Amino acid sequence: MITLIKNAKVYQPECAGVKDILLIDGKISTIGENISLEIKNAEGVLVEIDGSGMVAIPGLIDPHTHLLGGGGEGGYKTRTPEAMLTDFTTAGVTTAVGCLGTDGVTRNMISLLAKAKGLEEEGLSTYVYTGSYHVPPVTLTGDVMKDFLLADKVIGVGEVAISDHRSSQPSSQEFRRLSADARVGGMLSGKAGIMNIHLGDGSRMLELILDTVENTEIPITQFLPTHINRNPALFEEGIRYAKGGGYVDFTASKDPEYWEAEGEVRTSKGIKRMLEEGVSPDQFTISSDAQGSLPLFNEKMECIGLGVGKSDTILPEIRSCVLDLGIPLETVLRASTANPARILKLTSKGRIAPGFDGDLCLLEETTLELDTVLCKGQIMVRSGKPVVLGTFQQG
């Protein structure tokens, strides 16, 4: 299949101006001006898309999702449903990284890996973290390093919970050993070996990570702590952590005004603040916690309500950064494209450049509303509507 996008304003994520983009067999082949093709019997082989009045951006990478579903903190009926293909594609997400959360008992790594492979067969690019909240981790093989070596989709460990009443309360020694296994497993397999860390509301915040960095040889870049904006105190600590060279991950919420009232720092406002504080735009990412539960607890830590995270929260926060807060699009785009690709070592993702996967989104230039999504060169969304459905979404 050959796809030619004409006259779109290209953000690689750096702005490259108005260009044509040629995709061949799922890869970006050429970016240039006035690209023209003459193909005999081109019907069904060549698809041309008019990108006039649009911006072309790399497909979004969601580095923290619950493909298999999550939750369960309020009992059996609070286990959240599995993700469907269009949950991601209609959100502009072309790559998703799945993990287990609180529940590593009724959900397991074999099921998560199978779910990731199923979504890949439907057109989405998927990866997984091995483990769950718990330490020692739930794994595929019984050994973190073997998981890296034997399962192509395993790129990190997570989401390991710290500073949270739902964590397994790992000791510093347990946490250091798991971090070391992740690092060496990543090295042996040529992968990131990232430690994706769930941060709760506890007062210890990033303490276990900082202890590991200060008292071992493991670098701060081995960790990607998520939910950094869940409360003001943690966010302030996150600024200091990022200034010290660490990566942080914002969780984008469906109802940002509600969550702000509950004490969360809105993603777009948090990004602006970090940039104002001198944090490099290369130090942070945005994820959705898609299909994960959003439990609400009272002062006794009893679950009193539950919501479900959605991947369609990322693009609105990017839009808010640009349209409401005046942050350049090419700056904030890094958080959902080039940054997660670099941090997670997804070498064919996160950029519009020759040789990279044909993962692209076309947005309306003035509103940044989603129009078209391509996953590895295949058109998944057109005019904001899905044109490819998941296996059980058809009919």
> Are 23 and 116 within one domain?
no
Band (pLDDT 50/70/90 cuts) for residue 40 is: low
Band (pLDDT 50/70/90 cuts) for residue 41 is: low
> Are 22 and 105 within one domain?
no
> Are 235 and 92 within one domain?
yes
Residue 392 lies in a domain: no
- According to the model, what pLDDT value does residue 292 have? 87
Question: Is the Cβ–Cβ distance between 37 and 353 less than 8 Å?
Answer: no
Binding site for Zn(2+): what residues are annotated?
A: 64, 66, 198, 227, 289
The pTM of this model reads 0.95
Cα–Cα distance for residue pair 35/52, rounded to 1 Å = 14
Which residues 6+ apart lie within 8 Å of 383 measured at CB?
371, 372
- E strands, 99-230, in order: 125-130, 154-162, 194-199, 223-226
> Are 76 and 136 within one domain?
yes
Residue 194 lies in a domain: yes
- According to the model, what pLDDT value does residue 286 have? 99
Domain count, the chain: 2
Binding site: what residues are annotated?
A: 64, 66, 71-73, 102, 133, 166, 198, 227, 230, 289, 293
> Are 23 and 130 within one domain?
no
- Is 164 known to be catalytic? no
Residue 318 lies in a domain: yes
Cα–Cα distance for residue pair 271/62, rounded to 1 Å = 17
Residue 394 lies in a domain: no
Give me the CATH number covering residue 251: 3.20.20.140
- pLDDT single digits (tens) 245-304: 999 999 998 888 878 888 899 999 999 999 999 999 999 999 999 998 876 667 776 777
Residue 395 lies in a domain: no
226, two tokens: 């998520």
* Cα 260 to chain centroid, rounded: 22
> Are 32 and 135 within one domain?
no
Cα–Cα distance for residue pair 388/16, rounded to 1 Å = 29
Cα–Cα distance for residue pair 146/134, rounded to 1 Å = 18
Give me the CATH number covering residue 353: 2.30.40.10
- pLDDT single digits (tens) 144-197: 999 999 999 999 999 999 999 999 999 999 999 999 999 999 999 999 999 999
Cα–Cα distance for residue pair 139/154, rounded to 1 Å = 10
Question: Is the Cβ–Cβ distance between 39 and 2 less than 8 Å?
Answer: yes
Asked whether residue 130 carries a pLDDT value surpassing 70, the answer given is yes
Residue % of the chain over a pLDDT of 90: 87
Question: Is the Cβ–Cβ distance between 95 and 126 less than 8 Å?
Answer: yes
Active-site position among 62, 249, 289, 357: 289
> Are 235 and 356 within one domain?
no
> Are 236 and 358 within one domain?
no
Binding site for substrate: what residues are annotated?
A: 71-73, 102, 133, 166, 230, 293
Domain boundaries, position 379: 2-57+347-386
